[in-house]
């Protein structure tokens, strides 16, 4: 059994596009593994840069036999981390755009 877990952080409006992109990207690898006798499960986990989490992330993590309490902690941590880093990136982008001398 082979599990492929791919994490994608995107702008919240593009969850469906990001999910489809991950499925498309890994399909050739999945086909090769299946042809060679592997049982393969792909879990694309999509998180929003503004803290949102795609609906099916919970289900994917449950399929990996992760306990509910741990899933809640993982999702909380990922959501908060995305918010912090989006804020950091935005502040530095604005600072760079409006800094004198450039």
Average of per-residue pLDDT across 32-45 = 93
**Cα(18)–Cα(7) distance, rounded to whole angstroms?**
10
**Per-residue pLDDT, 100:** 72
Q: Would the pLDDT of 12 be above 70? A: yes
- Give the β-pairing of 40-48 and 2-10: parallel
Answer whether 54's CB lies under 8 Å from 45's CB: yes
pLDDT digits (tens, 9 = 90+) for 54-92: 888 888 888 888 898 999 999 899 888 888 888 888 888
Answer whether 62's CB lies under 8 Å from 71's CB: yes
Q: How confident is the model at residue 37 (pLDDT cuts 50, 70, 90)?
A: very high
pTM (2 decimals)? 0.72
**Per-residue pLDDT, 95:** 82
């Amino acid at each position: 059994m082979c599990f492929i877990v791919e994490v994608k952080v995107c702008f919240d409006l593009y969850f469906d596009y990001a999910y489809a992109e991950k499925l498309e990207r890994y399909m050739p690898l999945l086909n090769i593994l299946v042809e060679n006798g592997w049982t393969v499960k792909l879990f694309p986990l999509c998180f929003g840069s503004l803290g949102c989490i795609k609906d099916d992330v919970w289900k994917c993590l449950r399929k990996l036999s992760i306990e509910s309490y741990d899933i809640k902690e993982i999702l909380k941590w990922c959501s908060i981390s995305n918010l912090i880093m989006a804020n950091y990136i935005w502040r530095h982008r604005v600072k760079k755009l409006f800094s004198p001398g450039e």
